[in-house]
Chain A
Amino acid sequence: MSWHRSSRRFHKWLMLFVGLQFVIWSITGAYMVMLNIDYIHGDSLVKQQSVSLTSADVNYELHQLYRDYPKAEMIELVLLLDRAVYRFSENKQNYLLSADTGKLLSPISEDYAAAVAINLYKKPEANISHISLISDNPPFELNGRHLPAWRIDFDDFASPSFYINSHTGKLVTKRHTFWRLFDWMFSFHVMDYVEEDPSNKLLLIFAVLSLMASIFGVVLTYFRVFSSQSKKKNKRRINSSVNRRVNDATN
């Protein structure tokens, strides 16, 4: 059998098995490249903080902190809800203190978490549709090391969610529909629908078969588009359509 004929056969049969995955690769690939990754990450949902630290904000001094928490490490003075706070860890536990009074703020209450989320949200009018504390069994989108965390869902376009760690008050991650969709697209792109790990056997099989199918496709492209045989065929096809029009005109 000629290479042309056998390429057609192999291309036809291989594509019966992998054709659907080709379509899936194309759709998921197009989605992932067309939406800007910074938009996917919800970067535009977070407001830039505008208040700056001043010495007047700090009335509970560092030496007092060490007196109350002798093993404090990774101490950071930062602004939360426009007020100065200390963040630190002691014995693998995270703490949040007011830098004004030294009052322990962590673990933060639901109201405090909601206020932090609203303060960070880009739009001034932010409606919270749901708020919950996650202490274990985090959803797949939340890394377990961020627990315990408050999940704040906003009633807004694309259902954005902010995750605020309840011991540090930090925005540990965020999600919205387009990011959730992106993860879904990626799992279909790498054919791992559970772990999103590209090193799986299913993908290996499909990649190899698809490569073979495409190579036969390229061979077909040569025969159908570029070879001298195909050029003759194209001429014949054009002539036959001209003949048809001449016949119609003269009848």
Chain B
Amino acid sequence: MMRLIKLLHKWLSVIVALQLLIWLGSGLFFNLMDHSKASGNANRVNMSQSIDIDHARLLAPSTILRALELSQQTLTQKKTTVQRRVNSLKLIQLLNQPYYLLNHKRGLYAHFYNEHSLIDAYTGEPQIIDDVMAQALAQATYSGNGKVARVIKKLAPIEDMLKEENTVWQVNFTDEANTSIYIDASSGRLVGHSNEDKRFADFFFKLHFMDYGVMGKVGSFNNGLIIFFSLITLLLSLTGAVWVVELLSKGRYKR
């Protein structure tokens, strides 16, 4: 039996040696790294909501809902059905303007797939988030000294924001840290900030999670590759542990 244990220990090491060193090395990195730097939020501030909303000018939510219902009826009559149910209506402020944020499809979390639309709360006009508005929204959360270089629309999966499933605007800045700010394209929600420090840490996470998009979608540690390697490593550790116990019992740990 011990022969099998030792044989397994020796030959399994061949399979996982490299990945084991990667796990230990990246693990050590996580232990030593500055977590606040790794968050990518070095140049992030909260959007200030300073404007008092003029309550008298606000359109009532029921008015908004009724308008939607009427437009839905005409669309159905014209046989072009765009079934847009409304799950919720929220009064928010974007760039000191009040809007109603409507949810038409609800994901369990904000970063899961959601469908939103924006309606100007004073006029009832629909508002689309274009690159200009996205840039302004991003700028409002930015405390660095860079200028906006490029604004690009990005579909999931997004390299800097792996959990995010929604389409976003990526607003890129010219600062030293290459800050990128992500804005949800349908709701204007700030998805998050990223920069070179976060990307550096993300690289180590990719290594630790074997998140290469092999045998599974990118953006998670539940993939076939890591499951295979973790089970082999488990066998390697267990055979090693048995070997240690055997050496102890044979008195081989005397100086």
Interface residues of A (CB under 8 A from B): 12-13, 15-16, 19-20, 22-23, 25-27, 29-30, 32-37, 43, 46, 48-49, 52-55, 58, 61-63, 66, 74-79, 198-200, 203-204, 207-208, 210-211, 214-215, 217-218, 220-221, 224-225
Contact = CB atoms under 8 A, between A and B. Distances in A.
Contacts of A199: 30-33, 35
27 contacts: A19-B241, A20-B241, A22-B237, A23-B238, A23-B241, A26-B238, A32-B221, A34-B230, A35-B222, A36-B222, A49-B106, A53-B85, A55-B62, A55-B63, A58-B62, A61-B62, A62-B61, A74-B92, A78-B88, A204-B28, A207-B24, A211-B28, A214-B20, A215-B21, A217-B17, A224-B10, A225-B11
Chief secondary structure at chain A's binding surface: helix
B230 A204 contact: no
A34 B227 contact: yes
B60 A63 contact: yes
Contacts of A23: 234, 237-238, 241
Contacts of A75: 90-91
B8 interface: no
Contact of A221 (B17, B88, B89): B17
Contact of B58 (A52, A62, A203, A204): A62
* Dominant SS among interface residues on chain B: helix
Contact of B86 (A34, A52, A220): A52
B89 A33 contact: no
Max chain B CB contacts within 10 Å: which of A25, A26, A48, A75?
A26
B98 to A, nearest CB: 10
Interface residues of B, number: 57
Contact of A12 (B92, B234, B247): B247
Contacts of B24: 207, 210-211, 214
Residue in A55, A75, A220 with the greatest tally of chain B CB atoms within 10 Å: A55
Given A53-B85, A200-B31, 8 more contacts: A19-B244, A26-B237, A33-B221, A33-B222, A33-B230, A52-B85, A62-B61, A77-B90
Interface in B198-255: 209, 220-223, 226-227, 230-231, 233-234, 236-238, 240-241, 244, 247-248, 252-253
B87 A52 contact: yes
B65 interface: yes
Nearest to B64: A55
A198 B62 CA distance: 50
A43 B165 CA distance: 16
Contacts of A220: 13
A35 to B, nearest CB: 8
Nearest to A86: B61
B27 interface: yes
Contacts of A22: 237, 240-241
Contacts of B14: 221, 225
A63 B55 contact: yes
B65 A55 contact: yes
Given A15-B244, A199-B31, A225-B14, A53 B86 contact: yes
B159 interface: no
Interface in B57-86: 58, 60-63, 65-66, 69, 85-86
A15 B240 contact: yes
B2 interface: no
